[in-house]
Amino acid sequence: MATQSVLVVDDEPDIRELLEITLSRMGLATHAAATLAQARDAVSTVQPNLCLTDMRLPDGNGISLVEYIQREYPQIPVAMITAHGSVETAISALKAGAFDFISKPIELDTLRRLVSTALQLDVDTGRTDRAMDRDLIGSAPSICALRQQIGKLARSQAPVHIHGESGSGKEVVARLIHQHGPRAEGPFVAVNCGAIPPELMESELFGHVRGSFTGASQDKVGLFQAAAAGTLFLDEVADLPLAMQVKLLRAIQEKAVRPVGASAEQPTDVRLLSATHKNLAAEVDAGRFRNDLYYRINVIDVHVPNLRERIDDVPALAKAIVQRICASQGSDAAQLDDSAIDALCGYTFPGNVRELENMLERALALSDGNTVSAGDLQFASSAPGGTQSATRKTPVDAGRSRGWSTAEAYGNLEGYLEDIERTIISDALQECRWNKTATARLLGISFRSLRYRLQKLGLDD
């Protein structure tokens, strides 16, 4: 195997020498550059396995180099060297696409860990893309974009905040970021912040030493330590008490935690991912979430679409879920008949993918044989389409809501009926989030018929 190489970019000869000596002892070849121009030439000539760059350079800044490498050589990870405590610089570098950052004065153990992690990245990004196609099912544009975003984020150590409705698959996204990144061999530790009693939260996250409080009969390893060399996923992070938010912020900034009752901090090496179904920016505005912590965990923002936004993915998703359930139970393969698929595609899924999974697991348990039909499915309301179907306008209501009187209808029946039809179709489109395939199913007409009616009524814009 060819020796891996690292490009060191810094205008201070002492820093370059220190880094080159440390990297050489790790068995790596090194190349050096003192300016932005020299660094660009070296990248194109050498194409190193990793680039370490200072922020301040005589002819520019390190972020310009990060952006250049991201654009021209995206397979090369870049780590930024920042001044101690320069949070804004670190965040800017990560948003620009830096793999990670390290602060001056450089701690050599931290440097070695960063370099080792970066060099574990898979150069074959196409292999990651293919694996993502298998792991995240669906062909909706929002899912295709999400797969691409996960592939990029897996190659970074930037904190990521994942938001979306309950049951939409936020933890699935977090696991994929972990599994396709350089920390895949390390642990993935997930914790629901809303499920931990406030009085135990510090001990759970940071650990405690024996005798630190009543009942602490032995040392306890916290979740930060348990996730060492891996990923820590803080689900429902918006539920953290304000006092705990302060301590979490310090742990992120210092990359160290202090167990309850301990006299010294312990260094940590984790990738931090977080998620919530709440609007975190609104929580900041309401004073329930710290603004400084928000900017630390929300360096990269990921949105997970709800199932209503990709209703056309339901058939493939449902079939995959059924196969997985049967495999996990060791039962014979089952299938969904057309009536079940049609019923699922006409439902709005307020509980998203989690509701679909629960619904199919229940249907498989209740169905006769190995085929699930519409009659085996139990929806949250009396009919597919949810409780909204109970409030849908009748034709008379629709006509009155458009300002028509009975006398006016007698004189212009065609216009009256068209206005009723326009109102009903508009309501159905809104209920299905403007998904025309789902709207046609909801109305009980073909897609071609719906398309004709939309053109006739001027609703096809």
Question: Is the separation of the CB atoms in 384 and 346 below 8 Å?
Answer: yes
Q: Do domains 5-118 and 125-303 have the same CATH topology?
A: yes
Angle, vertex CA 328, rays to CA 307 and CA 185, nearest 5: 80
Alpha-carbon distances, residue 422 vs 10, 233, 293, 402 (angstroms)? 66, 47, 48, 10
Alpha-carbon distances, residue 305 vs 166, 253, 308, 344 (angstroms)? 11, 31, 8, 18
Q: Alpha helices of 223-313 — where are they, by DSSP H? A: 223-226, 242-254, 280-285, 291-297
d(CA 90, CA 242): 24
- Between 398 and 9, the more confident residue is 9
Query: Which two three-digit tokens encode residue 26?
Result: 């790790």
d(CA 202, CA 388): 43
Cα-based torsion angle of the residue sequence 278, 284, 288, 291 in order, rounded to the nearest 10 degrees: 130
Question: Is the separation of the CB atoms in 166 and 352 below 8 Å?
Answer: yes
Place of tokens 């860990």: 113
pLDDT tier, 72 (very low <50, low <70, confident <90, very high otherwise) = very high
The CATH H-level (homologous superfamily) assignment of domain 5-118 is Response regulator (3.40.50.2300)
Nearest CA among 254, 198, 194 for reference residue 224: 254
d(CA 169, CA 152): 18
Cis ω before 305 (30° cut-off from 0): no
d(CA 122, CA 49): 11
Average pLDDT, the chain: 86
Question: Is the separation of the CB atoms in 33 and 39 below 8 Å?
Answer: yes
Distance in Å from the first CA to the final CA of the chain: 58
d(CA 242, CA 459): 49
Q: Is the pLDDT of residue 423 over 90?
A: no
High-pLDDT (> 70) share of the chain, %: 88
CA 278 to chain CA mean position, Å: 14
For 35, which DSSP code? S
Give Cβ neighbours of residue 338 (< 8 Å, ≥ 6 apart).
Answer: none
60-61 and 56-57 beta bridge pairing: antiparallel
> What are the extents of the domains in the chain?
5-118, 125-303, 307-376, 394-457
d(CA 88, CA 94): 10
- Between 248 and 413, the more confident residue is 248
Q: What is the pLDDT of residue 427?
A: 83
Q: Which fold has domain 125-303?
A: Rossmann fold (3.40.50)
Give mean pLDDT, residues 410-428.
74
Out of 3.40.50.2000, 1.10.10.10, 3.40.50.920, 1.10.8.60, the CATH code matching 307-376 is: 1.10.8.60
Bridge partner residues of 56 (DSSP): 61
Question: Is the separation of the CB atoms in 76 and 98 below 8 Å?
Answer: no
256-257 and 266-267 beta bridge pairing: antiparallel
d(CA 58, CA 299): 28
d(CA 198, CA 114): 33
Nearest CA among 48, 59, 56, 66 for reference residue 4: 48
DSSP E strands, 10-72: 29-33, 50-54, 56-57, 60-61
Range with the poorest average pLDDT among 79-88, 117-126, 142-151, 264-273: 117-126
pLDDT tier, 385 (very low <50, low <70, confident <90, very high otherwise) = very low
Cα-based torsion angle of the residue sequence 211, 214, 218, 224 in order, rounded to the nearest 10 degrees: -100
For residue 304, how many C-alpha atoms fall within 13 Å in the half-sphere facing its CB? 27
pTM: 0.76
Q: What is the pLDDT of residue 261?
A: 85
